[in-house]
Structure 1
Amino acid sequence: MLEFSRDGATVTLILLLVTVSATASTEEAVFTNHFLVQLHEQTGDEAHQLATEHGFDSARKVPVAEGLFHFYPKDLTRARRRRSSKLRQRLQADRRVKNVFQQEGFPRTKRGYRDLNDIDTNMNDPLFSKQWYLINTGQADGTPGLDLNVAEAWELGFTGKGVTIAIMDDGIDYLHPDLASNYNADASYDFSSNDPYPYPRYTDDWFNSHGTRCAGEVSAAANNNICGVGVAFNSKVAGIRMLDQPFMTDVIEASSISHMPQVIDIYSASWGPTDDGKTVDGPRELTLQAMADGVNKWGFPCRLPNRATNRWYLLARAGWPRGKGSIYVWASGDGGSFDDCNCDGYASSMWTISINSAINDGRTALYDESCSSTLASTFSNGRKRNPEAGVATTDLYGNCTLRHSGTSAAAPEAAGVFALALEANPDLTWRDMQHLTVLTSKRNQLHDEVHQWRRNGVGLEFNHLFGYGVLDAGGMAKMAREWKPVPERFHCVAGSVQEPRKISSDGQLVLSISTDACQGKDNFVRYLEHVQAVVTVNASRRGDLNINMTSPAGTKSILLSRRPRDDDAKVGFDKWPFMTTHTWGEDPRGPWLLEAGFGGDAPQHGVMMEWTLMLHGTQSAPYIDQIVRDYQSKLAMSKKQELEEELDEAVERSLKSLLGKS
């Protein structure tokens, strides 16, 4: 045994080491050719010479105590089932050696890293190794580890089985060999041609490949030696063809997003108003109602027929006792720094999960729009010209592509991650999915060159462009398994400023609303989810207008950034609901500030006609208290230098006590 001191502390140490090694595994022991050797006093300088004399490669001092050395073998790969008795005996017989311990081997795996060959040795899809957004090992000059962490979810057994995702787009090549086995024909429809066959219309330039590419990101089959692998490769994908006509109509949009909610779990939309930096637009009346019904409408315990196929479907997500709600995933927009996705009424809706994108080295894509309504991010192609830095997926007529791009590529990836979470817990509601997104998304190695990462009043870290970070499929699936449904949601009109106030380039207009968040009433909101600032304002140049809002906890949300291409001087914003998710979990009671002003070089003027503050959230949210405790703990540990010094002192004291040194 190791003898360091005059008391019994050394005995405790050895007993502890023996206990750990004896109970670490029930499998047959594996012994390495690594040895822990204790030398007598005054012989430490001879450790390396002694090691080489006995056939070892070298000796390295073990810092936990004096006289301990690690003897490294020349052949690092060899292992055996029995102890090396002769080698140990020779070492023990050396006059310089006090004790010898041959080291037992036991398994350990690297956390947060997956070798491609370790995920599934049978993955034979030719583009799988190029799908860096699934498993990033540094392909195409990317940053290793910066991915969706789907490997962890797959290893847990979640691959999207039993979940149907609808791609609302220009159609799907459902004959594609990488999509055909996962295609849900019963849930598909062509609202452009009014038939059940949403096949893309042919064009010479393959203009209508958009939906097929999005579908492959979600549900491309695995291990068929074709193209790549979908995020949820055992999910079903439905095609809803609705984009391919000269003009969109309210009824087509409404019909599309409300198509067969008894079968479709997730709707993915990679479209919206024109991203020209001067458009302010959103869903019309029918579509708004369809969205509201999709997430909020209660179901009932019965089955509905599909008359086209004479089959019956259980009302699952819309079932009794309350509807779980359709999950709408929306691409945040491709207008870049010239646009603001809070001017897109689809992406900024509290009924959708708005998804932005990052490129494979963690930077923002040049086309990314930023806004306070974005909840999280996934990945798309970016600034690099490497041909393999795009998104690998299916293409028209049985082809594959490496060039899918834009936030169009980001939304389907998110839909796939949500499908994995739904398989882990089919009872998740649309709000549960938003809470899981906030809680499990990670900053990882994302980098925004314009907007800093900040923490809100309960410690949740967010970024104005990336939202709460990149989706973590493994983390979300694990949390989903044990998830308890969030409490009932309430809405409170917190206050309103109705008197017209002038805005000029001379300074900021600052308005204040102090609220009790409807405390004492049935609709009291204690823990925030979404916050809307409903604003009516006009300006001599709308694009130079910027609006910020600050919560009672001090969290500032950028509701509107300058849009240099927007020359509007007549329409302005008419009761436009600017939305923020940045105050998620905060207590809304207290003073809220709204600041409005102008950017740009030319003097501008305007009038703020109305600001109404709308609060949406719950009266109880048990996990919020844990977030606060975690945040306080992180704050206490933020003094890095002090912490390191205290830790060093604690370790030194412990070692001295253990080894009996004064």
Structure 2
Amino acid sequence: MSTPARTGGTPVPAATAIPTLPSIAETQLDPYAYTGGTVDGSNVVAAWQHATGSGVAVAVIDDGFTPSLLGQFDSAESASFGAAGLGEPAGGFHGTTTSGLIGDAGSATTPVGLAPGATIIGMKVDFAGGSFSEMVSALTAAAPLAAVINNSWGLTGYGNGGPSQAGMAPWYAAVQSAVASARGGLGDAVVFAAGNDRANADTVSLQPIADDPRVIAVAATNRDGSVASFSNPGPGLLVAAEGNGVTVTLPSGATSQAAGTSYAAPAVSAVVAMMLQANPNLGWRDVQTILAESAYAPLASASGFATNAASGWNGGGMHFSNDLGFGVVDANVAVNLARAWTAQSTSANQATLSATQARSLSVAVNGTAYSTVSLSGGMRVQHVQVHIDDTNLPVAYTKLVLTSPSGTQSVLLDRAGLVGGTDLTGGLDLSGDTISSNAFWGEAAAGTW
């Protein structure tokens, strides 16, 4: 297993939460509003009329922090699980910039965070030489303290970090505890960067910790809403946010431009913090549903979207893309939808259906084989997971497509790691892998898959 790489408090009740808008020059607000074809900031200025994240704690698992730049930093609850102190390592800036995108205080010369009222809890880990146990300890400590947990990191390599791999059980137990027990059983929103290895044909399908259905996997866009050249694709994505050319504040107080899904993830964490201020009663599954239903497909990327057969969304299907999930987050729509939301979907009322098919299949080179499973009952889909036991499916030479009873197709994997005819996975096989897809959200589960 490779080492990590960069890539809830008690919310104020909505009825009494009066957001305090940041005092900052208009020129600093412009990048956060829709102007001239840009989708910078995902419409947060409009959302600030209803919520700024006030009273909501966001834990950031990262390499260090600069508390003086943050409007609300909880030093008492913050902790270091690697090197001593909460500050950045020498020459570092990753944790400062990701946490600042959520909660920077703002000034005449520096940007304000997307959720300036949110409380930031820093969970410091060592990306350079720390063990994975630090990540587990950080998540375990963050879960009872925060409502949102931002993870702008991932494991290097293809397929690393699966539940069956040695040493990973504590991580998945910590994730389960975060969604099942935190916030009095409502569950935390665990947000993950999708990864920046698109050039090497990587995919969220081979990044198990981000592909987990309990996690919000976030892709990165350019300013026009098109997918960023580095952003990992995959059917396990939920939404996207701008992650290329993002203005961030460095530990020195100077500003710079940053790129990576590391910056798309905190934008979504900030939006979730505003949603939870607007409605503290949302379950973690409500958060995911609202993000999916409020995201939009930007015109620049519209060709990558397909509409599924869901029937409960504005009377029609939901659009989905393996590049951007359900699309770019819209903070204003998400916050207003949260304000009106009456459901409460948690781990306690989550239901699952499963089916198994075992058969021998012979696939010729460039050939195709089919297998089916049948489900019954009246359930509607959120997440679908496919577990593979076959021992003769090389990742780099396999394309897997799942078709729902309604006819919607989701490409689970398409020759991942194959670049210029070279298998960068080193011959990785799919045996034991589990791949998630959100493409069928809202469809009826019953029938033949």
When normalised by structure 2's length, the TM-score is 0.86
Partner SS state of residue 433, structure 2:
strand
For the aligned residue pairs, the C-alpha RMSD in angstroms reads 2.3
5 Å-filtered alignment, 1:332-371, equals: 332-337=194-199, 338-371=201-234
The answer to whether residue 405 in structure 2 is matched with residue 552 in structure 1 is yes
Matches of 1:353 and 1:407 in 2, distance apart?
Answer: 13
Further displaced range: 255-264 or 144-153: 144-153
Q: 1:123 aligns with which of 5, 11, 24?
A: 24
Q: 1:397 corresponds to which residue?
A: 252
Q: 1:536 to 1:348 in 2, by over 3 A?
A: same
| 1:144-173 Cα deviation digits (max 9, x unpaired) | 4565111221123x1110011111111112
Equivalent residues of 2:400, 2:411 under 8 A apart: yes
- Larger strand percent: 1
Gaps of 5+ in 2: 1-19, 312-316
Pair 1:496 & 2:386 matched:
no
Cα distance in 2 for partners of 1:243, 1:453 equals 40
Secondary structure class of the residue paired with 1:496: coil
Which of these residues, 282, 288, 301, is aligned with residue 172 of structure 2? 288
List runs of 5+ in structure 1 lacking aligned partners.
Answer: 1-118, 298-316, 382-389, 520-524, 593-662
Q: Could you tell me which residue of structure 2 aligns to residue 246 of structure 1?
A: 129
Please list, as runs of the form range in 1=range in 2, the aligned pairs for 1:464-613 lying within 5 A after superposition. Answer: 464-487=322-345, 488-493=349-354, 495-516=355-376, 519=377, 526-539=379-392, 541-563=394-416, 564-565=418-419, 566-568=423-425, 571-592=428-449
C-alpha change, 1:120 and 1:526, in structure 2 (3 Å) is closer
SS of the residue aligned with 1:353? Answer: strand
| Secondary structure of 2:252 counterpart | helix
CA distance in 2, matches of 1:341, 1:189: 29
The answer to whether structure 1 residue 318 and structure 2 residue 183 are counterparts is yes
- Closer, same or farther: CA 455–260 of 1 in aligned 2, 3 Å: closer
Q: Are the counterparts in 2 of residues 153 and 473 from structure 1 also a CA contact under 8 Å? A: yes
> What is the distance in 2 between the residues matched to 1:424 and 1:120?
15
Find the aligned partners of 2:390 and 2:189 in 1 and give their Cα distance: 32
**Displacement, 1:464?**
1.6
TM-score normalised by length of structure 1: 0.59
CA distance in 2, matches of 1:252, 1:234: 28
User: Partners in 1 of 2:150 and 2:142 — Cα distance?
Assistant: 14
Distance (Å, rounded) in 2 between the aligned partners of 1:496 and 1:280? 25
Shift, 1:502, TM fit: 2.9
**Letter aligned with residue 135 of structure 1:** A
Contact 1:342 1:578 in 2 (8 A): yes
Show CA shifts across 1:275-295 (max 9, x none): x5x454346110010101110
Closer, same or farther: CA 506–444 of 1 in aligned 2, 3 Å: closer
In the other structure, the counterpart of 1:229 is 112
Deviates more, 1:556-565 or 1:498-507: 498-507
Note if contact 1:446-1:469 (Cα within 8 Å) is conserved in structure 2: no
Q: Contact 1:327–1:352 (CA<8 Å) still a contact in 2?
A: yes
Residue of structure 1 in register with 2:9 after alignment: none
- 1:484 and 1:167 mapped to 2: Cα distance? 29
Relative distance call for 1:236 and 1:529 in structure 2 (3 A) is same
Task: Measure how far apart 1:500 and its partner are.
Answer: 3.5
Contact 1:456 1:583 in 2 (8 A): yes
Q: Who is 1:624 aligned against?
A: none
Shift in Å at residue 448 of structure 1? 5.8
Structure 2 counterpart of 1:420:
274
Q: How many residues align?
A: 413
Higher relative contact order (CA closer than 8 Å, sequence separation 6+): 2
* Contact residue 341 and residue 348 of structure 1 kept, 8 A: yes
Q: Given residue 285 of structure 1, which amino acid in structure 2 is its aligned partner?
A: A
Match of 1:453 in 2: 306
| Structure 1 match to 2:100 | 216
8 Å CA contact 1:532–1:577 kept in 2: the answer is yes
In the aligned structure 2, how far is the partner of 1:370 from the partner of 1:542? 15
Alignment check: 8 A CA contact 1:391 1:409 kept: yes
Structure with bigger gyration radius: 1
In structure 2, the residue matched to 1:262 is 144
Q: Once the 2 structures are TM-superposed, how far is the Cα of residue 538 of structure 1 from its aligned partner?
A: 3.5
CA contact (8 A) 1:172 1:215 kept: yes
**2:308–2:443 Cα contact (<8 Å) kept:** no
Distance 2:233 2:428 in 1: 23
CA contact (8 A) 1:125 1:225 kept: no
Aligned ranges for residues 104-119 of structure 1 at < 5 Å? none
Query: What SS does the corresponding residue of 2:89 show, helix, strand or coil?
Result: coil
CA change 1:150–1:362 in 2 (3 A) is: same
Summarize the alignment of residues 61-210 of structure 1 with structure 2, pairs less than 5 Å apart.
122-124=23-25, 127-129=28-30, 132=31, 134-138=32-36, 143-144=37-38, 147-156=41-50, 158-175=51-68, 178-179=69-70, 181-193=71-83, 197-202=85-90, 206=91, 208-210=92-94
* Aligned ranges 1:29-44 → 2 under 5 Å: none
Q: Is the 8 A contact 2:225 2:328 kept in 1?
A: no
